[in-house]
Structure 1
Protein backbone atom coordinates (compact mmCIF):
# COMPACT_ATOMS: atom_id res chain seq x y z
CA UNK A 1 0.00 0.00 0.00
CA UNK A 2 1.33 3.41 -0.91
CA UNK A 3 1.24 5.93 1.94
CA UNK A 4 -0.44 3.56 4.43
CA UNK A 5 -0.77 6.15 7.21
CA UNK A 6 -2.57 8.59 4.94
CA UNK A 7 -4.92 5.89 3.67
CA UNK A 8 -5.70 4.68 7.20
CA UNK A 9 -6.41 8.26 8.31
CA UNK A 10 -8.81 8.66 5.39
CA UNK A 11 -10.46 5.37 6.29
CA UNK A 12 -10.92 6.49 9.91
CA UNK A 13 -12.51 9.75 8.75
CA UNK A 14 -14.83 7.82 6.41
CA UNK A 15 -15.81 5.39 9.16
CA UNK A 16 -16.48 8.22 11.60
CA UNK A 17 -18.50 10.10 9.00
CA UNK A 18 -20.62 6.98 8.46
CA UNK A 19 -20.99 6.50 12.23
CA UNK A 20 -19.16 3.20 12.47
CA UNK A 21 -18.00 2.27 15.96
CA UNK A 22 -14.68 4.05 16.39
CA UNK A 23 -14.41 5.47 19.86
CA UNK A 24 -11.13 7.01 20.87
CA UNK A 25 -10.66 8.46 24.33
CA UNK A 26 -7.98 10.83 23.11
CA UNK A 27 -5.66 11.59 20.21
CA UNK A 28 -3.00 9.16 21.51
CA UNK A 29 -5.44 6.27 21.28
CA UNK A 30 -6.41 7.38 17.78
CA UNK A 31 -2.72 7.51 16.77
CA UNK A 32 -2.11 4.00 18.17
CA UNK A 33 -5.07 2.69 16.18
CA UNK A 34 -3.75 4.25 12.96
CA UNK A 35 -0.22 2.93 13.65
CA UNK A 36 -1.48 -0.58 14.31
CA UNK A 37 -3.60 -0.71 11.18
CA UNK A 38 -0.89 0.87 9.01
CA UNK A 39 1.66 -1.72 10.18
CA UNK A 40 -0.76 -4.63 9.82
CA UNK A 41 -2.06 -3.73 6.36
CA UNK A 42 0.97 -1.99 4.81
CA UNK A 43 1.52 -4.83 2.30
CA UNK A 44 -2.06 -4.67 1.00
CA UNK A 45 -2.73 -3.75 -2.62
CA UNK A 46 -4.22 -0.25 -2.97
CA UNK A 47 -7.12 -1.32 -5.19
CA UNK A 48 -8.05 -4.18 -2.87
CA UNK A 49 -7.79 -1.86 0.13
CA UNK A 50 -10.18 0.65 -1.41
CA UNK A 51 -12.68 -2.08 -2.25
CA UNK A 52 -12.44 -3.49 1.29
CA UNK A 53 -13.00 -0.07 2.87
CA UNK A 54 -16.07 0.37 0.67
CA UNK A 55 -17.34 -3.05 1.72
CA UNK A 56 -16.79 -2.27 5.40
CA UNK A 57 -18.55 1.07 5.09
CA UNK A 58 -21.47 -0.17 3.02
CA UNK A 59 -22.16 -3.16 5.23
CA UNK A 60 -21.60 -1.15 8.41
CA UNK A 61 -19.18 -3.73 9.79
CA UNK A 62 -17.41 -3.03 13.04
CA UNK A 63 -13.89 -1.80 12.21
CA UNK A 64 -11.57 -4.51 13.54
CA UNK A 65 -8.81 -6.66 12.07
CA UNK A 66 -11.09 -9.69 11.60
CA UNK A 67 -13.73 -7.81 9.61
CA UNK A 68 -11.11 -5.98 7.52
CA UNK A 69 -9.34 -9.26 6.70
CA UNK A 70 -12.69 -10.70 5.66
CA UNK A 71 -13.44 -7.64 3.50
CA UNK A 72 -9.97 -7.90 1.92
CA UNK A 73 -10.57 -11.55 0.98
CA UNK A 74 -13.85 -10.50 -0.60
CA UNK A 75 -12.10 -7.63 -2.41
CA UNK A 76 -9.51 -10.05 -3.81
CA UNK A 77 -12.33 -12.18 -5.20
CA UNK A 78 -13.96 -9.13 -6.78
CA UNK A 79 -10.69 -8.10 -8.44
CA UNK A 80 -10.11 -11.65 -9.68
CA UNK A 81 -13.60 -11.70 -11.23
CA UNK A 82 -13.01 -8.34 -12.90
CA UNK A 83 -9.74 -9.56 -14.41
CA UNK A 84 -11.38 -12.75 -15.69
CA UNK A 85 -14.26 -10.76 -17.22
CA UNK A 86 -11.79 -8.43 -18.91
CA UNK A 87 -9.81 -11.38 -20.31
CA UNK A 88 -12.99 -13.01 -21.59
CA UNK A 89 -14.05 -9.82 -23.34
CA UNK A 90 -10.61 -9.46 -24.95
CA UNK A 91 -10.66 -13.08 -26.11
CA UNK A 92 -14.15 -12.68 -27.62
CA UNK A 93 -13.06 -9.72 -29.73
Structure 2
Protein backbone atom coordinates (compact mmCIF):
# COMPACT_ATOMS: atom_id res chain seq x y z
CA UNK A 1 0.00 0.00 0.00
CA UNK A 2 1.56 3.17 -1.13
CA UNK A 3 -1.07 5.52 0.24
CA UNK A 4 -3.04 5.55 3.49
CA UNK A 5 -6.14 6.59 1.51
CA UNK A 6 -6.06 3.15 -0.14
CA UNK A 7 -7.04 1.57 3.20
CA UNK A 8 -10.64 2.76 3.09
CA UNK A 9 -13.22 4.07 0.74
CA UNK A 10 -14.70 7.52 0.63
CA UNK A 11 -16.53 8.67 3.75
CA UNK A 12 -20.24 9.32 3.60
CA UNK A 13 -21.27 12.90 4.20
CA UNK A 14 -22.62 13.24 7.75
CA UNK A 15 -24.96 16.00 8.75
CA UNK A 16 -26.40 16.43 12.25
CA UNK A 17 -30.13 16.09 12.61
CA UNK A 18 -32.01 19.35 12.89
CA UNK A 19 -33.22 19.77 16.45
CA UNK A 20 -36.62 21.30 16.88
CA UNK A 21 -37.24 23.76 19.71
CA UNK A 22 -39.46 22.64 22.54
CA UNK A 23 -42.35 25.03 23.12
CA UNK A 24 -43.49 25.09 26.73
CA UNK A 25 -46.09 27.20 28.41
CA UNK A 26 -45.96 28.51 31.96
CA UNK A 27 -48.51 25.82 32.89
CA UNK A 28 -46.17 23.15 31.47
CA UNK A 29 -43.33 24.43 33.63
CA UNK A 30 -45.51 24.65 36.73
CA UNK A 31 -46.57 21.05 36.18
CA UNK A 32 -42.98 19.87 35.84
CA UNK A 33 -41.55 21.83 38.75
CA UNK A 34 -44.45 22.23 41.18
CA UNK A 35 -43.03 19.64 43.60
CA UNK A 36 -39.55 21.15 43.92
CA UNK A 37 -38.07 21.04 47.40
CA UNK A 38 -36.29 24.32 48.06
CA UNK A 39 -33.29 24.46 50.37
CA UNK A 40 -33.18 28.26 50.01
CA UNK A 41 -36.52 29.33 48.50
CA UNK A 42 -36.11 30.70 45.00
CA UNK A 43 -32.35 30.17 44.92
CA UNK A 44 -31.25 26.59 45.75
CA UNK A 45 -33.50 23.69 44.75
CA UNK A 46 -32.74 20.23 46.11
CA UNK A 47 -31.63 17.87 43.34
CA UNK A 48 -30.93 20.64 40.82
CA UNK A 49 -27.73 22.37 39.75
CA UNK A 50 -27.39 25.95 40.95
CA UNK A 51 -25.11 28.30 39.03
CA UNK A 52 -23.56 31.40 40.53
CA UNK A 53 -22.12 33.72 37.89
CA UNK A 54 -20.50 37.12 37.99
CA UNK A 55 -17.30 39.04 37.35
CA UNK A 56 -14.12 38.12 39.25
CA UNK A 57 -13.88 39.49 42.76
CA UNK A 58 -17.62 39.86 43.38
CA UNK A 59 -17.78 37.27 46.17
CA UNK A 60 -19.07 34.16 44.38
CA UNK A 61 -16.72 31.85 46.31
CA UNK A 62 -17.52 33.55 49.61
CA UNK A 63 -21.26 33.26 48.93
CA UNK A 64 -20.91 29.60 47.97
CA UNK A 65 -18.97 28.80 51.14
CA UNK A 66 -21.52 30.68 53.28
CA UNK A 67 -24.36 28.71 51.66
CA UNK A 68 -22.47 25.43 52.21
CA UNK A 69 -21.99 26.34 55.89
CA UNK A 70 -25.72 26.99 56.23
CA UNK A 71 -26.59 23.69 54.53
CA UNK A 72 -24.19 21.68 56.70
CA UNK A 73 -24.66 23.33 60.10
CA UNK A 74 -27.99 25.12 59.75
CA UNK A 75 -28.41 28.83 60.17
CA UNK A 76 -29.97 31.87 58.58
CA UNK A 77 -30.22 32.48 54.83
CA UNK A 78 -29.45 35.98 53.48
CA UNK A 79 -33.18 36.80 53.39
CA UNK A 80 -33.48 36.10 57.13
CA UNK A 81 -35.22 32.71 56.94
CA UNK A 82 -33.91 29.93 59.14
CA UNK A 83 -32.60 26.67 57.71
CA UNK A 84 -33.15 24.10 60.45
CA UNK A 85 -32.44 20.80 58.70
CA UNK A 86 -28.67 20.41 58.60
CA UNK A 87 -27.38 17.73 56.26
CA UNK A 88 -26.40 14.81 58.50
CA UNK A 89 -24.20 12.98 55.97
CA UNK A 90 -21.83 15.87 55.25
With the length of structure 1 as denominator, give the TM-score of the two structures. Answer: 0.23
Over alpha carbons, which structure has the higher Rg?
2
With the length of structure 2 as denominator, give the TM-score of the two structures. Answer: 0.23
RCO greater where, 1 or 2, for CA within 8 Å and sep 6 or more? 1
Higher-strand-fraction structure: 2
